[in-house]
Amino acid sequence: MVNSSQFPYFILTAYLDMGYLKYLYFVIVLLLYIMIVVANSFLIVTICMKRSLHEPMYVFLCSLLVNQLYGSAGIFPFLLLQITSDTHTISRSMCFLQIYCLNTYASVEFCNLAVMSYDRYLAICCPLHYKARLTSNKVALFITLIWLYSLIKFLITLSLNLRLTLCGNVIDRLSCHNYYVVKLACTETSLNNIYGFISGTLTILVPLIPILFSYAKILRVCLSSSKETRQKAVRTCSPHIASLINFTFGCCFETLQSRFDTTGVLNLLRIFLSFYFLIGQPLFNPIMYGFRMSEIRNAKVFSVIRLCTFKMY
C-alpha cells in the first residue's frame, strides 16, 4: 500500500500542449475573469446603493452574485497559473481546497435559485401577503441557511477525503474533482461513496422540491388568470428560469464528464464543456438580470456604470 504522503501534489492531464498559444489563452481567460468580476461587482454595488432595490428578490440576487464571485475566485486564478505553467500540478492541500470551493459554489447557487423561485411564487400567487410572508428577517435567515447548509455539508466531504490513502496522483481534468480523487484511493471508500450519494441526493432534492412546487403553483395561477397576468408572470420569471436552465446545463455537462468515459470526445470539446460550468453562470446572470429587469436597468447607478463602460470602449 502506498502512503498518500508520497503524493504531495496532483498532476492534471487535461491541459493541451499549447506552445506559444498559451499566451493567447491566458489573455482570453484573463479577460473573461475581469468581465465576471466587473459585471457581478457592478450589479452588487447597484443593488446595495439603490434603496428601492432593497427588496427580497434583489437581496437573493445579490447573494447569487456574491456566490459567483466566490466560485470564480476558486478557479480562475488557478487556471491562469496553469496556462502559463509547463508542469500542470497542484498541491494536495490546494486540490482539496479547490474541490471544497467548487462544490460549495454549486450547492449555494442551486439553493439560491430555489429560494428565488419561492420568492417569485409569493410575488405572483400571494401578492397581498408578500411582504408579510417574506420579511427582512426571513430573507436574512434564508441566506444564512443556504450558505451554512452548503459549507457544512461539503466540510464533511472534505474531512472524509483527507483520511484517504491514495495510490496515484494523476487527474484527467482542468481542475481537481472530488470523484476523481476518491477513485485514486487504495483504501476502503464505502463511507465516502455512501456519504457522497446522500450528499448528492440532498444537493439536488433540497433545492429541486421548492423549485417544482413554486412553478407548479405559478403555472396553475397563470392558467386560470387573464392574459395580462400571464404576461407579467412570464416577464417576472423569465430571468430566473433562464438562469436555472443555464446552470442545469452546466451541471449536466460536468456530471456526464465525471461519470462516463469521454475519451472518444475531442479534447477541445471536453475542455469547453468543463469551462462552461465555470463561466456559464457568472457571465450569464449579470447580463440576464442587469439588462432584462427594468428595476435594475433604470437604476441611476447602473446607468452611470453602463455609460462609463461604453466610454471606455
pLDDT of residue 112: 95
Residue 1 — pLDDT band, cuts 50, 70, 90? very low
Q: Cell 482570453 identifies what position?
A: 28
Least confident of 37-46, 167-176, 221-230, 242-251: 221-230
Q: Residues 168-193: what's their mean pLDDT? A: 84
pLDDT at 302 > cutoff 70: no
Q: Are strands 89-91 and 9-12 parallel, antiparallel or unpaired?
A: antiparallel
pLDDT at 78 > cutoff 80: yes
Q: How many C-beta atoms surround the C-beta of residue 47 within 10 A?
A: 23
pLDDT of residue 46: 85
Residue 296 — pLDDT band, cuts 50, 70, 90? low
Domain of 122, in residue numbers: 4-312
pLDDT at 313 > cutoff 60: no
Residue 250 in contact with residue 280, Cβ under 8 Å? yes
Q: Residues 2-13: what's their mean pLDDT? A: 68
pLDDT of residue 309: 47
Q: Residues 144-164: what's their mean pLDDT? A: 90
pLDDT at 171 > cutoff 90: no
Query: Whole-angstrom Cα distance, residue 124 to residue 214?
Result: 10
Q: Which of 17-26, 198-207, 266-275, 294-303 has the highest mean pLDDT?
A: 198-207
pLDDT of residue 113: 93
pLDDT at 70 > cutoff 80: yes
Q: Are strands 9-12 and 170-171 parallel, antiparallel or unpaired?
A: parallel
Q: Residues 108-129: what's their mean pLDDT? A: 90
Q: Cell 417569485 identifies what position?
A: 120
pLDDT of residue 65: 93
pLDDT at 305 > cutoff 60: no
pLDDT of residue 303: 52
pLDDT at 56 > cutoff 60: yes
pLDDT at 43 > cutoff 50: yes
pLDDT at 225 > cutoff 80: no
SS3 166: strand
pLDDT at 66 > cutoff 90: yes
Residue 16 — pLDDT band, cuts 50, 70, 90? low
- Per the structure, how many domains does the chain have? 1
**CATH number for position 98:** 1.20.1070.10
Side-chain half-sphere of 44: how many Cα atoms within 13 Å?
15
pLDDT of residue 31: 93
pLDDT at 102 > cutoff 80: yes
Percent of the chain topping pLDDT 90 = 21
Q: Residues 238-255: what's their mean pLDDT? A: 84
37 vs 167, residue with greater confidence: 37
Query: Whole-angstrom Cα distance, residue 289 to residue 10?
Result: 38
